[in-house]
Structure 1
Amino acid sequence: MNVVYPVFFDIRAKRCLVVGGGMVAERKIRGLLREKADVVIVSPAVTEGIAHLAVQAQCCWLKKKYTADDLHGAFLVFAVTDSPEVQERVVSDAEAMGLPVNVADQPERCTFHVPAVLRRGDLTIAVSTAGKSPALAAMVRQTLAEQYGEEYAQLLSLMGKLRPLVINAARTSDERKALFQKILHGDMIHWIKSGRWDKVRRHLQVVLGQEVDDIININRE
Structure 2
Amino acid sequence: MYFPFLVNLDDKAILVIGGGKVAYRKVLLFKKFSTNITIIAPEICSEMEKEIKKNNFVYLKKCFENGDTLKFDIIIAATNKRDVNKLISLESRRNNKLVNVVDDPELCAFIVPSIISYENFLIAFSTFGKAPSLSRVFREEFEKDFNSNFDSIIKYLESLREDIKNRNYLPEEKEKILLNCSRKAFKYFRRGKSLSEIKAMIENCN
In structure 2, C-alpha distance between the alignment counterparts of 1:170 and 1:58, rounded to whole Å: 51
Q: Which residue identity does 2:28 align to in structure 1?
A: R
Q: Secondary structure at the match of 2:123?
A: strand
In structure 1, C-alpha distance between the alignment counterparts of 2:105 and 2:117, rounded to whole Å: 24
In structure 2, C-alpha distance between the alignment counterparts of 1:21 and 1:107, rounded to whole Å: 20
Residue identity over aligned pairs, in percent, reads 21
The match for 2:22 is 24
Matched, 1:165 2:163: yes
1:6-85 to 2 correspondences below 5 Å: 6-12=4-10, 14-85=12-83
Q: Secondary structure at the match of 1:41?
A: strand
TM-score, normalised to structure 2's length? 0.88
8 Å CA contact 2:40, 2:64 repeated in 1 = yes
Distance 1:54 1:163, change over 3 A: same
Distance 1:186 1:56, change over 3 A: closer
Structure 1 residue runs of 5 or longer lacking an equivalent are 209-221
8 Å CA contact 2:70, 2:92 repeated in 1 = no
Distance 1:199 1:104, change over 3 A: closer
Offset, 1:72: 2.4
Distance 1:107 1:194, change over 3 A: same
Count how many residue pairs are aligned between Structure 1 and Structure 2: 205
In structure 2, C-alpha distance between the alignment counterparts of 1:162 and 1:53, rounded to whole Å: 40
Q: Secondary structure at the match of 1:42?
A: strand
Which string of whole-angstrom CA distances, capped at 9 and with x for unpartnered residues, describes residues 142-199 of structure 1? 2222343543212111011112111112544322210102323536652794337266
Structure 2 residue runs of 5 or longer lacking an equivalent are none
8 Å CA contact 1:13, 1:37 repeated in 2 = no
8 Å CA contact 1:120, 1:152 repeated in 2 = no
When you count helix as a share of all residues, which structure comes out higher? 1
In structure 1, C-alpha distance between the alignment counterparts of 2:185 and 2:27, rounded to whole Å: 40
In structure 1, C-alpha distance between the alignment counterparts of 2:21 and 2:30, rounded to whole Å: 14
In structure 2, C-alpha distance between the alignment counterparts of 1:81 and 1:188, rounded to whole Å: 42
TM-score, normalised to structure 1's length? 0.83
Matched, 1:137 2:135: yes
Runs of 4+ in 1 over 4 A off after TM superposition: none
In structure 1, C-alpha distance between the alignment counterparts of 2:79 and 2:41, rounded to whole Å: 9
Distance 1:199 1:126, change over 3 A: closer
Higher Rg: 1
Which string of whole-angstrom CA distances, capped at 9 and with x for unpartnered residues, describes residues 55-103 of structure 1? 3353111011212322122121011111222111101100110001101
Q: Which residue identity does 2:105 align to in structure 1?
A: P
The match for 2:102 is 104
